[in-house]
């Protein structure tokens, strides 16, 4: 998906797109690329979620985009400000891989799966349905999200390009 109007979303970042712009983020390993779309207003949003919960935040000025429990409400606020309606939003997500082999069963090392679980929990809280997801595994992904049609394109070295 090569588009002229490409909006890059960095790690622990979020943004919205309208008028045919495409949101793109790279380097999704254990991070989750969460996308939201209002199909009537054609407002798209993407968050590159690094960690499941802001309860562990240690920074003096919290980066809301870094955590699932703060990124999703912030993304919703920005999308609503752009004219979207939460009641019409649909979600898709990718990432949440388990990038390193674990010898023990420490929950703190399950960052990818915990990120996915936390995103799902937040979406349920806002009653936003998840239309599709490409999560888990042990490989990285790059995603692009089209604000004209809500198409999520997922690229990985192992599996090429997949569209959901």
Q: Which residues are known to be catalytic? A: 31
Of 65, 76, 66, nearest in space to 126 by CA: 76
Residue 147 DSSP code: T
H runs (alpha helix) in the chain = 68-81, 111-125
SS3 readout for 12-23: CCEEEECCCCEE
- The 10 Å CB-count burial string (b at 16+, else e) for 127-163 is ebeeebbbbebeebbbbbbbbeebbbbbbbeeeeeee
Q: How many angstroms separate the CA atoms of 57 and 73, rounded?
A: 17
Q: How many angstroms separate the CA atoms of 119 and 97, rounded?
A: 14
């Amino acid at each position: 998906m090569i588009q002229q109007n490409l909006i890059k979303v960095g790690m622990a970042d979020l943004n919205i797109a309208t008028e045919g712009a495409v949101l793109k983020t790279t380097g999704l390993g254990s991070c989750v690329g969460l996308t939201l779309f209002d199909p009537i207003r054609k407002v798209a949003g993407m968050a590159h979620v690094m960690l499941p919960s802001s309860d562990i935040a240690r920074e003096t000025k919290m980066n809301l985009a870094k955590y699932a429990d703060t990124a999703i409400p912030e993304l919703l606020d920005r999308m609503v400000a752009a004219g979207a309606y939460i009641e019409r939003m649909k979600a898709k997500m990718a990432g949440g891989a388990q990038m390193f082999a674990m010898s023990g069963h420490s929950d703190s090392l399950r960052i990818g799966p915990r990120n996915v679980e936390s995103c799902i929990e937040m979406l349920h809280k806002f009653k936003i349905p998840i239309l599709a997801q490409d999560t888990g595994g042990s490989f990285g992904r790059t995603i692009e999200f089209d604000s004209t049609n809500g198409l999520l394109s997922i690229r990985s070295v192992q599996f090429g390009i997949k569209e959901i």
